[in-house]
Amino acid sequence: MHDLVIRHGRVVDGDETPAFTADIAIDGGRITAIGAVPQKGRREIDAAGRIVTPGWVDIHTHYDGQVTWDPYLSPSSWHGVTTAIMGNCGVGFAPVKRDRHDWLIELMEGVEDIPGSALAEGITWDWETFPEYLDSLDGQARVLDVATQAPHSAIRAYVMGDRGARNEDATPEDIAAMAQIVTEAMEAGALGFSTSRTVVHTTKDGQVMPGTTAAADELLAIGKAVAAVGPGVFEMSSDMAPAEVEFEWMRAMSMGTGVTVTYSLLQSPMNPDNWKNLLKLTAEANQQGASIAAQIACRPTGLVLGWRSTIHPFIGRQTYRDIAALPFEARLEKLKNPAVRAAILADPSKKMGPLGAIMTQGFDRMFRLVQPDGGLDYEPRASDSIAAIARASGQSPDAVVYDMLMENDGRGYIYLPLLNYTEFSFDHIHAMMHDANTVLSLSDGGAHCGVICDASFPTYMLTHWVRDRSRGPRLPLEKVVSMQTRDTARLYGLNDRGVLAVGMKADVNVIDFDNLAIEAPEMVFDLPADGRRMIQKARGYVATIVSGVVTYENGEATGEMPGKLIRGRQMADVAMAAE
């Protein structure tokens, strides 16, 4: 008798083979048979009419703090994620000296918009070194597997103190000390190292985060430290400016050490075609022997603007600021008052800089998110913008926005795509997805709590890109499954998962594909210290299975906690199963 048998499902594997109907048997946390399974299971799941996929492997999350108190790592686990990789973009919480706790919290709050009060109350700080951080995580139960990377900002501040925080040049002694910490982190089980080289990532006081301007000698020494323990990943968010200079050290690092370098790639409104040049440089480097991958997103980096979001179009108007501190229900009563509405609309916004102006007055790039039928439109046309609606209706754009925010009893939302949507279309994303040197990523699970919820990416890939897209070509189901299972797992050397084959780890999703849906965003206050976060739930996940154990059934947690801390690269029990 098998531990678990999933019967009659339409198997959509991570290797892009055509879907087929089969049973899957699981024993001891591994897949033991696929096909016709005559033996019974101690537990059986009827998957007739459902698709059966590997569990999603999300390689770009920021649960570094949340993982210490939340065994569910929601929203990601609600969307079928069975493996989450943290420590991205150079931010994290180890190593850390006792007097730097608050500094790291403020850095994470500034860069990733995670409430500092929640981090301060939720994190126990029973570690100093990176290996001690992993030991702390290893001792906790959770529903999914987690892995992490060594973050540059924490390491730099640990070694260099204020000099590192101010982005001063590292001395040879500083570099040697940082490299040693990275070596220890890799030996303890880190999957790699991460850094940030973008001016967008700033501290709460507006300074670029530590490591942003690190010189090539510092980066190359760290790359060698990653490689010394074994093949690893060097992950970064970067402006890639100038691109040729960045690729020079990236190529040299990868070719000289065997490390895989991976960077974030989004279409910039300042240079809409630059992504093509970056992919060209990536291909050229890989043809020369490097291993470089661009991490791409499945939709725009977009803000969800509501009355309780971090920012919305009226945040800079004094008449609104006069009531902003009121509890939401009391504030909502004020906002419903026609006289208050008129006063806010008549009040000019204070100057907030170029980005602030876009986020508060960029009405030609703002859209209704939740549609009248309850669906969500992340690929709207330019003719759907708030500015266009205002012109057609004869209203002012801010009046249109105000009334949309007041929908659903003051819980309406406006969608503002900042990056990856310059031409009001996903066609460039479709092209990126077909490039051999890209990997699906950038969900930022756990981050940007007050204005973004992209942890729903895995579900969106199936609903929009496979089933519902009407403005351009869709993607085959088999490709979409592969993109967020085998492809993401292999980038980080997790070769024991991402494919449904005998000997592979039994991480599985059983999905009602026809009825799969993402729910509307919702602002909740369930973090420690009543911290806020924006969430999105999903419908249609019949079961999520981690190491052969059902963790979610019909969207409800079972209470089982089979998740583990991943330490280092993972190999399949059966060599042929990894192919």
Residue 483 has phi, psi (to 5 degrees) of -60, -30
Three-state secondary-structure class, residue 226: helix
CA neighbours closer than 13 Å in the CB half-sphere of residue 520 = 19
**579 — pLDDT class (breaks 50, 70, 90):** very low
Q: Which of 485, 492, 489 is nearest to 509 (CA)?
A: 485
Q: How far is CA 405 from CA 327, 369, 412, 435, in A?
A: 17, 11, 4, 39
Pair 458, 56: CB distance under 8 Å: yes
Is 576 a residue whose pLDDT tops 70? Answer: no
Strands 51-54, 2-11: pairing is parallel
Q: Provide the residue type at 182 as one letter.
A: V
Q: What is the 3-state secondary structure (H, E, C) of 440-509?
A: ECCCCECCCCCCCCCCCHHHHHHHHHHHHCCCCCCCCHHHHHHHCCHHHHHHCCECCCCCCCCCCECCEE
**Domain 2-54+503-578 bears CATH identifier 2.30.40.10:** yes
Q: What is the mean pLDDT of the chain?
A: 96
Tell me what pLDDT residue 575 has: 40
CB atoms within 10 A of CB 109: 20
pTM score of the predicted model: 0.97
Is 577 a residue whose pLDDT tops 60? Answer: no
- Mean pLDDT value across residues 302-316: 96
- Mean pLDDT value across residues 61-65: 98
Tell me what pLDDT residue 204 has: 83
Helix (H) or strand (E) holding 332: helix 328-336
Three-state secondary-structure class, residue 485: coil
Tokens 């540059």 — which residue? 152
Is 379 a residue whose pLDDT tops 50? Answer: yes
Residue 552 has phi, psi (to 5 degrees) of -135, 140
Task: Report the distance separating Cα 244 and Cα 262, nearest Å.
Answer: 16
- Among the ranges given (9-18, 451-460, 493-502, 566-575), the one the predictor scored with the smallest mean pLDDT: 566-575
- Mean pLDDT value across residues 119-136: 98
Task: Tell me the pLDDT tens digit for each residue of 421-447.
Answer: 999 999 999 999 999 999 999 999 999
**573 — pLDDT class (breaks 50, 70, 90):** confident
Q: Show me where the domains of the chain are located.
A: 2-54+503-578, 57-302+422-491, 306-416
CB environment 419-450: b (16+ within 10 A), e (fewer): bbbbebebebbeebbebebbbbbbbbbbbbbb
Tell me what pLDDT residue 237 has: 97
CB environment 141-150: b (16+ within 10 A), e (fewer): ebbbbbbbbb
Three-state secondary-structure class, residue 7: strand
Tell me what pLDDT residue 574 has: 54
Pair 131, 185: CB distance under 8 Å: yes
What would the CATH number be for the domain defined by 57-302+422-491?
3.20.20.140
* Both structure tokens of 96: 């850390």
Strands in 367-368's sheet, in edge-to-edge order, are 301-305, 414-419, 367-368
Is 465 a residue whose pLDDT tops 70? Answer: yes
Tell me what pLDDT residue 203 has: 87
Task: Tell me the pLDDT tens digit for each residue of 183-237.
Answer: 999 999 999 999 999 999 998 888 899 999 999 999 999 999 999 998 899 999 9
Task: Tell me the pLDDT tens digit for each residue of 242-300.
Answer: 999 999 999 999 999 999 999 999 999 999 999 999 999 999 999 999 999 999 999 99
How many residues in the chain? 579
